[in-house]
Amino acid sequence: MTEPGGATATGEGTTDDRPERQARCRWCGRAFALTPGPGRPRQFCRDGCRQQAYLARKLASAHGLGDDDVIVSRELVEDLQSRLYCLQAALEDVDRDLTKSSEPDDVAEALGWLRENAEPLASFWIEPRTADA
């Protein structure tokens, strides 16, 4: 049975069939669903993140930093650099190994090595420091 507007009684063909649009929080990076409706799209997943971003902008302005400048600890940057170096070395190893052999077992071993070295970087997340940190 078709209802006004061409939608069926079962809900097929309605605008609800569209996948939810996702966005990333500008403060913490979490994914959240964008809700349809009037007004500007949300930029933060929670009010707390919006407040932290405001405080960070205020603090940054007081210290002469721009909106896109982020303060992180040297330790986190060095950890990120270390993980990137491991991934770069793994890519070089895999490239070298695959030029020698493209047998399925060798390819599987190379991909396993690459994945093992990529996972620490993929799971790493740097959050900006807050004003009280």
Rounded CA-CA distance 58/66 in Å is 10
H runs (alpha helix) in the chain = 47-62, 74-100, 104-122
- Looking at residue 31, what DSSP letter applies? E
- pLDDT tens series, the chain, 133 aa: 444 444 444 444 445 555 678 899 988 888 999 988 898 889 999 999 999 889 888 888 888 888 777 778 899 999 999 999 999 999 999 999 889 998 999 899 999 999 999 999 888 887 766 545 4
Predicted structure pTM score: 0.51
For the chain, domain boundaries: 19-69, 70-133
